[in-house]
Chains A and B, each alone.
Chain A
């Protein structure tokens, strides 16, 4: 667990999920960034996906 205070005092250390440019922009500012290569889950049946969404 990381204290929020630490985030404000030492600055962000980032896991970037989604738009890659957000991570690039942080990296350019000297922030440590790991980009998580996210893709939407493959959906065969929308109804099953909705049920899974609620369960998970």
Chain B
């Protein structure tokens, strides 16, 4: 095993570009690990933790790129000696002439939205300037302080502007997908949500039901906390109330702060249009929310989509929650192949919301979960790389993404994790999610398939069987092609469920009676 480091001075590259560079290099034969980062103080500390000598990066500044590679000696040397080849950008179709906001607005005076994804430390400054110039904002950057977020939202509110984010991953505005979004037909359902992958799954399920989305407005993960107070959520609700295309409004959220609950209930109860409220993680919040009778309350994304579709189609019925009864036959056959000591569930998630929702469903089913992002009542994994008993890991959490690409872009860490779980003789079922759409990997199912086949072999050679259950978030209009993704998974024996909630519930059925 050999390691090598290269520094590219005075060349700034955005985080997604660096992820793609790391992914490209790590696909080369003989390369085990690649880290490509801007040389900020945080990143330098991380590199030192990973074994880089302090003196090697002492003179590195935040405008320099650091590339750290582990692997066999000659492939590592070959990559490092030809490093510039990996940093050649493909030709862009974008108009790239502006270096300041004023220049950009001179070129495009009718601009009405700033899409901002600079590192968090600089994001508030860019966002404020955009607001001052009268632009609405989609703010992808995270690591913006609560104080900065509140100040930006108060200012946007005074100016009558919409700010989606910080930490907003997904929106669909007038049929245009922004950030990590899916290709969705236009329609009558408007949705507001704090949860990025939650919005992706909701809009995809509506599309799959043959219906469409008028607007999907992201608000950022902290918007309904008591510190922020729901500025963006309230603004988005008002916009959908006044938007003639929108006939039904849906709110997809994690539990709001206690002080924000009453304001949210007041706002929802005054809504003049039919409304579906989906607050993940807590049926008890619906009681506390004191919503009027006509508002449909759900606590999974799939139920919200089913109810919204039924209402828009004129079937004003409250559906009785989701059921996996039709799939029990399939797992019954597979459960017979399990060895007696196989009893645990392992969830490996790319979507943070899916990991959150799955834990909520396990809690309701009485199963205790270990996780790197535990819900209240669940147990924190002290080492996120090692599962214990029943575990669910959000592979998009900071611990993994500070040194590796996000799992929606590169599934390398998820592949390794699948193999690791398969080597544990007590594991019975692995729960996965696949997320299609703009910005996501070109072939998520194809990338993980070899690891799934290998994992099944490992357990089979040991005299057991490994059950894989998954959900795929996407549509037939996404470039990854939903149908092909489903076929790839089904061909290798993965049970693909209609939604992430269905998948989690079926996984629970595999292990529920095997815990003792």
A56 surroundings in chain B (CB, below 8 A): 125
Q: How distant is B131 from chain A, measured CB to nearest CB, in Å? A: 11
The one of B12, B92, B122, B438 in contact with A35, judged by C-beta atoms closer than 8 angstroms, is B92
A26 surroundings in chain B (CB, below 8 A): 115, 176, 178
Contact yes or no, A17 B114, CB < 8 A:
yes
Q: Which of A1-46 contact B (CB under 8 A)?
A: 1-29, 31-43, 46
Q: At the interface, yes or no: B289 with Cβ under 8 Å from chain A?
A: no
Q: How distant is B45 from chain A, measured CB to nearest CB, in Å? A: 14
A47 surroundings in chain B (CB, below 8 A): none
A13 surroundings in chain B (CB, below 8 A): 108, 110-113
Contact yes or no, A20 B63, CB < 8 A:
no
Q: How distant is B59 from chain A, measured CB to nearest CB, in Å? A: 13
Contact yes or no, B14 A37, CB < 8 A:
no
CB closest residue in chain B, given A40: B62
Q: How distant is A53 from chain B, measured CB to nearest CB, in Å? A: 7
Known: A39-B12, A40-B12. A19 touches B136 (CB 8 A): no
A22–B16 alpha-carbon span in the complex (Å): 9
Contact yes or no, A16 B115, CB < 8 A:
yes
Contact yes or no, B178 A36, CB < 8 A:
no
State which size class the interface on A falls in: 35 or more
A22–B178 alpha-carbon span in the complex (Å): 7
The listed residue with most A CB atoms (<10 A of its CB), out of B63, B111, B242, is B111
Q: At the interface, yes or no: B453 with Cβ under 8 Å from chain A?
A: no
State which size class the interface on B falls in: 35 or more
Q: How distant is B219 from chain A, measured CB to nearest CB, in Å? A: 14
Contact yes or no, B112 A12, CB < 8 A:
yes
The one of B135, B159, B243 in contact with A8, judged by C-beta atoms closer than 8 angstroms, is B243
The one of B116, B176, B179 in contact with A17, judged by C-beta atoms closer than 8 angstroms, is B116
Q: How distant is B162 from chain A, measured CB to nearest CB, in Å? A: 5
The listed residue with most B CB atoms (<10 A of its CB), out of A9, A11, A19, A39, is A19
Known: A2-B112, A5-B239, A40-B119. A18 touches B173 (CB 8 A): no
A11 surroundings in chain B (CB, below 8 A): 173-176
1/0 contact trace for B164-191 toward A, CB 8 Å? 0000000001111111000000000000
B95 surroundings in chain A (CB, below 8 A): 33-35
Q: At the interface, yes or no: B160 with Cβ under 8 Å from chain A?
A: yes
CB closest residue in chain A, given B107: A34
A4–B112 alpha-carbon span in the complex (Å): 8
Q: Which of B25-72 contact A (CB under 8 A)?
A: 38, 41, 61-63
Q: How distant is B249 from chain A, measured CB to nearest CB, in Å? A: 13
Q: How distant is B359 from chain A, measured CB to nearest CB, in Å? A: 30
Contact yes or no, B98 A37, CB < 8 A:
yes
Contact yes or no, B113 A15, CB < 8 A:
yes
Q: At the interface, yes or no: B93 with Cβ under 8 Å from chain A?
A: yes
Known: A22-B140, A40-B63. A35 touches B98 (CB 8 A): yes
Q: How distant is B377 from chain A, measured CB to nearest CB, in Å? A: 36
A32–B126 alpha-carbon span in the complex (Å): 20
A4–B176 alpha-carbon span in the complex (Å): 15
B63 surroundings in chain A (CB, below 8 A): 39-40, 42
Known: A13-B112, A38-B118, A40-B119. A20 touches B17 (CB 8 A): yes
A-B pairs with lowest CB-CB distance, top 10: A18-B117, A11-B174, A2-B112, A1-B134, A19-B117, A18-B118, A35-B94, A39-B12, A12-B113, A19-B14
Interface residues of B (CB under 8 A from A): 12, 14-17, 38, 41, 61-63, 89, 92-101, 103-105, 107-108, 110-119, 122, 125-126, 130, 134-136, 140-141, 159-162, 173-179, 215, 235, 239, 242-243, 438-439
- In the assembled complex, 7 residue pairs joining A and B whose CB atoms fall closer than 8 Å, in A order, are A4-B160, A4-B239, A13-B113, A14-B113, A15-B115, A17-B116, A43-B61
- Apart from A21-B17, A40-B119, 18 more pairs, CB < 8 Å: A1-B134, A4-B136, A5-B243, A8-B174, A9-B243, A11-B173, A12-B176, A15-B105, A15-B108, A16-B94, A19-B16, A21-B439, A22-B16, A26-B176, A32-B111, A34-B107, A38-B118, A41-B122
